[in-house]
Amino acid sequence: MKSIEEVLKEKLGEKNLEKLMQIKNQNLYEFVADYVEICDPESVYVSNGTEEDLEYIRKKAVENHEEAYLKITGHTIHFDAYGDQGRDKANTKILIEKGEELDKSIVTGDRETHLIEVHEILKGIMKGRELFVCFYTLGPENSIFSIPCVQLTDSAYVAHSENILYRQGYDEFLRQGEKARFFKFIHSEGELDERFVSKNLDKRRIYIDLKNETVYSVNTQYGGNTIGLKKLAMRLAIDRCSKEGWLTEHMLVMGVHGPNGRVTYFTGAFPSMCGKTSTAMLEGESIVGDDIAYLRNKNDLTFAVNVEKGMFGIIQGVNSKDDPIQWKALHTPNEIIFSNILVLEDGSVHWIGKDGEVPDRGCNHSGEWLKGKLDSKGKEIPPSHPNARFTLSLDKLDNIDSKLNDPEGVPVGGVIYGGRDSDTWVPVCESFNWEHGIVTKGASIESETTAATLGKEGVREFNPMSNLDFLPIPIGKYIEVNLNFGKKLSKTPLIFGVNYFFKDKDGKFLNEKNDKKVWLKWMELRVHNEVGALKTPIGFIPKYEDLQKLFKQILKKDYFYEDYVKQFTIRVPENLAKNERVISIYTSIKATPQLLFDVLEREKQRLIEAKEKFGEYISPDKFPEV
């Protein structure tokens, strides 16, 4: 059997070997050598994050036909295989030891069996190809938030994507040396067909080994399955932080601009299609991150960072009117990878919801495309896939916050939880305290499905902290970690629930699209105790006169009292029904903290008492000011 040194010398060559050996970490050498030997690439390219190395990977992505140049300088297109354009939930598994058990909602696999299987698939899978070894850091460099990562992949597209999305980590590895506790990622796109897309989708596997903090991804190109540092690394981080007392959350981080130039930072968790991106991208505010955040206790206060430096954004519906900041970036010469959208003969592009008429023909993820083209099941193929994406560095956006890469992170003044809820949650409500907020706002998130996206309207999907899909630990333990985090703080961030989808009894939305600008400004003022509130059974709601003033200042329009009453009437029957649903769900979840049930029971009693005093539907003017 060859030694580590022999394996590395044979495949890396002098220059690449020297780059690797600059990092003083024996575990790293062993990891790279093991998978070089297993995957058997023709050669290995080690990237240390210099512009020369980044450019090499950009060019390779085009040379290898994984990307192609578009009309605008710096823009490229990537297509995934038909059937490989979304996360493979069935084959994404948390590997656990015999005797371990997680909640039924978490897809798991026997660690020993699945590691044998994936290593069999990986054996010789990179023959004739080049393996890229890339170094990144989750969170800013040289920070208590930093987690160094190493990615092995035979896909220049994956390496290129991660170079846009993540901070280079070679210097972090140099800095940490033998002390580095790094996440490890192995990816191969597998055998490719004539369109240079993954061919063996039946052998697509995405396995997360918590014990060795390693992610395996094979026979897939779609970013959600292959860009390991995103949701796959999120599972590793949730597992690690649950043992260390900090938080990994599926949250935006943004700066809300208050009076006299003040910026107050908020994190926010929203399930898909509930307003997360539109909140993070609001004009007049600044974005730190749109997807994943680490939160830590520093000097008994909460600080947060964006784990990433870029965005892997859904492009469907992006247009010049509703998304001016993204629209401008997507039409400017930048480094952008588009995936699974329509490409026209002249190199211009189109996607579902883009300004202008839908072109008659082009090329998309299904190959040559014409209007009315049907798939094998007789279903019409749209010009772009509904999950089509763009990969963009956040610093290309006009609203980027100056603290994006601050190693100290940003101080968190407020935490926002939002869902799609037609009949229960008022548009904005502040919790009484940290425990009340975590339980009744975060752990109680439900999101109603929409007919347009999921085929069946109005089904309430339970999604605590908008993180259910990404938990590698029991739900009860995850709730407990969040509750315990607040106990160690001298001052906790305020917690708010928001709902942009509240409707009247006739099914008409009670919020307009831009009203969220006002809710954010009110929350910012509450953080600094500069406006009062009304105390209701479910938390603190705004006073009419404060919102009237903010609507005039922010949206330049009148805000009528009758609209306020409709929006902030507390619907007791609906809130009690939700309370019962949530209690029922957690009763079936093992190891749920008793505190959660206590908080929900107290809220239930407050609602019953209010109902006895004021009736089932209570106007905000019935509640006392605080």
Q: In this structure, what CATH number is given to the domain that contains residue 37? A: 3.40.449.10
Domain boundary (217, 244, 271) is at 244
pLDDT recorded at residue 456 = 60
Residue 236 included in any domain: yes
Q: How far apart are CA 7 and CA 372, in angstroms?
A: 53
Residue 75 included in any domain: no
Residues near 157 by beta carbon (within 8 Å), at least 6 away in sequence: 61, 64, 66, 67, 78, 221, 337
Residue 589 included in any domain: yes
Q: How far apart are CA 410 and CA 139, in angstroms?
A: 12
pLDDT recorded at residue 494 = 98
CATH of the domain at 375: 2.170.8.10
pLDDT recorded at residue 273 = 80
The three-class DSSP label of residue 346 is coil
pLDDT recorded at residue 457 = 62
CATH of the domain at 521: 3.90.228.20
Domain boundary (396, 428, 459) is at 396
Nearest to 465 by CA among 271, 246, 252, 232: 271
Site of tokens 């991804």: 217
Mark whether 573 and 475 lie in a shared domain: yes
Mark whether 231 and 277 lie in a shared domain: no
Q: State the residue range of the domain holding 116.
A: 4-66+81-244
DSSP lists the bridge partners of residue 184 as 150, 214
Mark whether 322 and 189 lie in a shared domain: no
Mark whether 491 and 507 lie in a shared domain: yes
Residue 147 included in any domain: yes
Burial profile 356-381: b = 16 or more Cβ within 10 angstroms, e = fewer: eeebeebbbbbeebeeeeeeeeeeeb
What totals of helices (H) and strands (E) does the chain contain, helices first? 18, 33
Mark whether 352 and 450 lie in a shared domain: no
Domain boundary (223, 244, 265) is at 244
Residue 76 included in any domain: no
Burial of 155 (C-beta count, 10 Å sphere; 0-12/13-18/19+)? buried
**Both tokens assigned to 269:** 């968790």
Nearest to 315 by CA among 407, 185, 439, 223: 223
Q: How far apart are CA 313 and CA 324, in angstroms?
A: 15
Mark whether 253 and 360 lie in a shared domain: no
Mark whether 15 and 44 lie in a shared domain: yes
Number of domains in the chain: 3
Mark whether 97 and 204 lie in a shared domain: yes
Burial of 284 (C-beta count, 10 Å sphere; 0-12/13-18/19+)? exposed
Residue 74 included in any domain: no
Mark whether 371 and 449 lie in a shared domain: no
Residue 178 included in any domain: yes
Residue 609 included in any domain: yes
What are the 10-residue block averages of pLDDT along the chain, 626 residues in total?
Answer: 84 94 97 97 97 98 98 97 90 93 90 98 98 98 97 98 98 97 98 94 97 98 94 97 97 97 97 89 95 96 98 94 94 97 97 96 95 92 95 97 97 96 96 98 89 58 93 96 96 97 92 94 98 98 98 97 98 98 95 97 98 98 96
Burial profile 90-122: b = 16 or more Cβ within 10 angstroms, e = fewer: ebbbbbbeeeeebbeebebbebeebbebbeebb
**CB-based contact 28:182 (threshold 8 Å):** yes
Mark whether 560 and 580 lie in a shared domain: yes
**Both tokens assigned to 79:** 């297509």
Active site residue 274: yes
Give the pTM. Answer: 0.95
Q: Which of 39, 134, 241, 274 is catalytic?
A: 274
Mark whether 131 and 159 lie in a shared domain: yes
Mark whether 326 and 188 lie in a shared domain: no
